[in-house]
Amino acid sequence: MKNLIDTKYWLFDLDNTLYSGQTKVFSEVDKKMSSFISKKFNVDLIKAREIQKKYFYEYGTTLSGLMSHDKIDPHEFLEFVHDIDISWLPKDEILREELIKIKEKKYIFTNGSHAHVENVTKQLGIDGLFDGAFDIVDANFIPKPKIEPYEKIVEKFELDPTKSILIEDIAHNLEQAKNLGMKTCWLENDEVFAKKDADKPYIDYKIKNLPSFLQEINILKAQ
C-alpha cells in the first residue's frame, strides 16, 4: 500500500466501482439495453437479451456490436439506455470524504456516457470531486479493454502512466492499464465475467470495498 502514496493520477471505473454492484444500478442500464434492442429489431425481450449478451462478449460492449453489425446510431443508444431513474441510490458520505482527501488528480474512465457519469455521481453525492471524465464518446466508441481508450485518456489528460492507478470491477480491463505502466486495482466481486481473469499477474491490488481502500491510503499519507 505504501507505494501508492506517491500516486499522482487516480482513475476510477464508474459502474459497479464507484458504487457497489450489489445496488443493481447497472441492472437498470442492462434492462434498457434489452428494451432498445427489442424495439429496434421487433423481437421479444428474451431474444433481445440473447443479442445483447452475444454482442457484449464478442465486441466488448453491446454498443460496439450494434454499431459494427447493425449500424445503430451510438448517440441514440446511449441516450436511451442511460436514461434511468436512480433516485433511490443512497449518497455515499464515506466515499465522498475519502475522495476529498485525495488532493491528486482524479478521473472517471468509463465505457458509459458523460450523462451517465453525471447522473451516478450526483446521486452518490460525489459530483464535482473529479478533475474530468473520459467516456465512450471520447474513446470514439472503442471500449475497454482495447488499448485505444487507455492511450487516449493518457493523452487527453496528460497522464504519466507510471504515476497512475486504475481501479476497476472487471479484472481483464486492467491488463492494458498495466501494459502502459499503471498500477492496477481490482474491486472483488462474484460476477463470472468480471472475475474470470482475477488471478492474472497484471493485477497489483485486490480490494473488497473502495471507500475503505481509499481510507487506508489517506491514513498512510497522513502519517
pLDDT of amino acid 3: 86
Q: For residue 188, give the nearest of 177, 198, 178 by alpha carbon.
A: 198
pLDDT in tens, 5-31: 999 999 999 999 999 988 989 899 999
CB 187 within 8 A of CB 16: yes
- Domain pair 2-19+91-222 / 25-81, same fold: no
CATH architecture of 25-81: Orthogonal Bundle (1.10)
What's the one-letter identity of residue 214?
A: L
The one-letter amino acid at 172: H
Q: Domain 2-19+91-222: give its CATH superfamily.
A: HAD superfamily/HAD-like (3.40.50.1000)
Digit-coded pLDDT (tens) for 48-72: 999 999 999 899 899 999 999 999 9
Separation CA 177–CA 188 (nearest Å): 17
* Spans of all domains in the chain: 2-19+91-222, 25-81
CA angle 215, 144, 16 (to 5 degrees): 40
**Is 110 in contact with 136 (CB distance < 8 Å)?**
yes
- Going through 13-160 in order, the beta strands assigned E by DSSP cover 105-109, 132-134
Between 21-30, 95-104, 120-129, 164-173, the lowest mean confidence (pLDDT) is in 21-30
Q: Are 123 and 91 in contact (CB under 8 A)?
A: yes
